[in-house]
Amino acid sequence: MSFIRLDDLNIEYSLSGSKGKETILFVHGLGANLNQFEKQHEYFSNSFQVLSINLRGHGKSHLTFQSDQPDFTLSAMSEDVIKVLDYLAIEQAHFVGNSMGGNVGYELLKSHPLRLKTFTTFGTTAKLKKSKLTIALMRTMYKLLSSRTIGNLSSSSGNTAYSKQLIKKMMSQTAKSTMLAIIPNIANFNYLAVIRNSKIPAMIIKGGNDQEINKVIGSTIQEFEKRGNFQLKNMTEIGHFANLDNPEQFNHLLEDFYRGH
């Protein structure tokens, strides 16, 4: 792992493969971290440069000052990603985002579209609207439960022993203060217009068992299908963390996608 000091923030990242090759950028979701993509680093490093980042508040990426209201907006996190790309002199990358990481990707697609060569998400929707009551209940749950319990509950989103174990470990290591600060920022958003205005090749990997996302992803898929230059890939018997439940199939889907672009 390596670190970049960015003004008031330390960002942890992992970079593998050969400089000069095309870059694949992997971004995790709420409570996870860059360890989620260890299988992707192993698989793609021979033919790509592979970059994964710990978003602020995750892993060892942390603000270097104390604040009563730290900025955990999707916009702030997307700018962190751009600063890392700038620091590493990476002009353009194939973007892959899971869950909240996909939402960070939509922010990049809106504000820095030329930095993305292709755009892939899994476990992500472009539109979500949670009520204030739902948000309050979610925050209350995270306040009351221990980090260990949060990890145990989150592991149920994995479908294999490997995925369950890693999800549990990642979620239990993330500070509850980070979770509480981010939840309101990922409860209400709408990037459908961003999809309509984008042009780069895009792919959604849909997990058959990712029930919560599958309830709300319909409008996202429709917008991409109307826009064109889009692929929808279904992974059956796969949950929210598709790359952990079936790394081999996940890697092959990405590989095929990149081969066509």
Whether 118 is covered by a domain: the verdict is: yes
**Residue at 214 is within a domain:** yes
Task: Using 70 as the pLDDT threshold, list the residues of the chain that sit under it.
Answer: 65-68
CB-CB contact of 166 with 28 (8 Å): no
Range of the domain at 85: 2-131+189-259
In a domain, 234, yes or no: yes
What pLDDT does residue 216 have?
Answer: 96
- Per-residue confidence (pLDDT) for residue 64, from 0 to 100: 74
Residue 66: per-residue pLDDT: 67
Inside any domain, residue 9: yes
Specify which residues 205 forms β-bridges with. 122, 233
| Residue 159 placed within a domain | no
How many structural domains are present in the chain? 1
Residue 249 included in any domain: yes
* CATH number of the domain that residue 245 is part of: 3.40.50.1820
Provide the pLDDT for residue 71. 85
Judge contact between 83 and 57, C-beta under 8 A. Answer: no
Which pLDDT score, from 0 to 100, does residue 68 have? 64
Per-residue exposure over 44-83, b if at least 16 CB sit within 10 Å of its own CB, e if not: bbeebbbbbbbbbbbbebbeeeeeeebebebebbbbbbee
Give burial (CB, 10 Å; 0-12/13-18/19+) of 143: exposed
Within-domain flag for 152: no
